[in-house]
Amino acid sequence: MRKIQMVDLKGQYDQIKETVNASIQEVLDNTAYINGPQVHKFQKDLEQYLGVKHVIPCANGTDALQIAMMGLGLQPGDEVITADFTFAATVEVIALLQLTPVLVDVDADTFNISVDAIKKAITPKTKAIVPVHLFGQVANMEEILAVAKEHNLYVIEDNAQAIGADYTFANGTKKKAGVMGHVASTSFFPSKNLGAYGDGGAIFTNDDDLAHALRGIVNHGMYVRYHHDVVGVNSRLDSLQAAVLNAKLPLLDTYNAARLATANKYSAALANHAKVVTPVVTGTTDSHVFHQYTLRILDADRDALMQHLLDKGIPCAIYYPIPLHSQKAYADARYNEEDFPITNQLVKEVISLPMHTELDDEQIDFITGSILEFLNK
């Protein structure tokens, strides 16, 4: 059996080596390392793939979130509601901009932000909601958009983990993750579903005025060369990363299908065990692109299971081990433990299995067999 990796970047590269190398070679030959034609091509192709009017490439997914919030003109003291159970980048940029993060609980079945919790957290100071499409599953956008509309709030989708996922509204309309809110961010960190070979990110919006504002903000607040109208940042997707992404974007649907197939095999082997909750897909199967495959372990020692898997050479990880409201940087007297029952429970139960595009049946069987062996002991 091949060695099992949490993310197999080498195995994937070996399959696409020629296209990637040729694409990188073009940049080396034209030396347009910054804002080269590869960046422009990637922007256009991604706009078309997503069905969105504007993609603004930038340096990483954290910058993308920050720039989206700057573009919306959020002001210090504005409250921004986001999920307690997510990667810290989301709350970090809210705090950096001196906005007030309002962390709320998630739903146990999807791990995504709870609409009831959002409703309870809204105050006259609330300006935006940031749903994170966690682990690759689109949050409950139908209801989130309705709540936002009712209270006149911006919706900023953190789409770092769900690029390529589709969301089907009750009326049958289908939209890609990241094109439903006012603005969205994504990350091309190497292990993401569409990963570069370094850092990268992008912002999406259908709003022409916001897109114009964002294009200036990523470029030092310049709309006309050497005229700085607003305080901006320097955040660019470099041409070498765009070259890698140009080679991989045409494969994104194939890659996401491979992740779904692996997820289905994991779930088929584990679904009927009383001590395991396999991932719940709430929408159509294309609403989840399995950035992570995350189990909940009930009535068993999750940490001992993790050690058992590591001892057998099976990498696995806890995403995320500590609720954001309990992190030193984001703790706040405003928070009550009773408001986070689900996140507090999930951090003790979750375990994420290897998930990438190169897992074979022998590896999958070994992983699920090793989990059952531990649970049936």
Ligand X SMILES: *Cc1c(COP(=O)(O)O)cnc(C)c1O
Interaction of residue 160 with ligand X, rule CB under 6 A: yes
Q: Tell which one of 42, 85, 87, 320 touches ligand X (CB under 6 A).
A: 87
- Given the complex with ligand X, which of 60 and 363 has the nearer CB atom? 60
If one counts every other C-beta atom within 10 angstroms of the C-beta of residue 121, the result is 18
What type of residue sits at position 245?
L
Query: Of 62, 126, 256, 292, which one interacts with ligand X (CB under 6 A)?
Result: 62
Q: Which of 57, 101, 201, 279 binds ligand X (CB under 6 A)?
A: 201
Q: Which helix (H) or strand (E) holds 201?
A: strand 201-205
Three-state DSSP class for 93?
helix
Nearer to ligand X, 92 or 358 (CB): 92
Determine which residue in the list 140, 187, 239, 352 makes contact with ligand X, applying CB under 6 A.
187
Catalytic residues, which ones? Answer: 192
Contact between 177 and ligand X by CB under 6 A: the answer reads no
In angstroms, the CA 256 to CA 20 distance is: 19
User: Does residue 132 touch ligand X according to CB under 6 A?
Assistant: yes
Bridge partners of 224? 227
Picking from 354, 350, 279, the residue whose alpha carbon sits closest to that of residue 316 is 354
Closer CB to ligand X, 70 or 132, in the complex: 132
The residues facing 350 across adjacent strands are 296
- Shortest gap between Cβ of 313 and ligand X (angstroms)? 26
CB of 60 or CB of 126, closer to ligand X: 60
* Minimum distance, C-beta of residue 246 to ligand X, in the bound complex (Å): 18
3-state helix, strand, coil in the chain (%, to 5): 45, 15, 40
Q: Which of 12, 23, 38, 60 binds ligand X (CB under 6 A)?
A: 60
Give min distance, CB of 60 to ligand X, in A: 4
> How far is the first Cα of the chain from the last one, in angstroms, to the nearest whole number?
24
Cβ–Cβ < 8 Å for 131, 158:
yes
Residue 197 near ligand X by CB under 6 A: no
Print the SS3 string covering 115-162.
HHHHHHHCCCCEEEEECECHHHECCCHHHHHHHHHHHCCEEEEECCCC
Q: Which of 38, 90, 239, 287 binds ligand X (CB under 6 A)?
A: 90
Interaction between residue 94 and ligand X (CB under 6 A): no
d(CA 232, CA 219): 6
Task: Assess contact for 144 and 81: CB atoms under 8 A.
Answer: no
Q: How far is the CB of 210 from ligand X (least distance, A)?
A: 20
Q: Which of 61, 71, 164, 279 binds ligand X (CB under 6 A)?
A: 61
Q: Smallest gap, in angstroms, from Cβ of residue 199 to ligand X?
A: 6
Please report, as ranges, the residues that interact with ligand X according to CB under 6 A: 60-62, 86-87, 89-90, 132, 158, 160-161, 187, 189, 199, 201
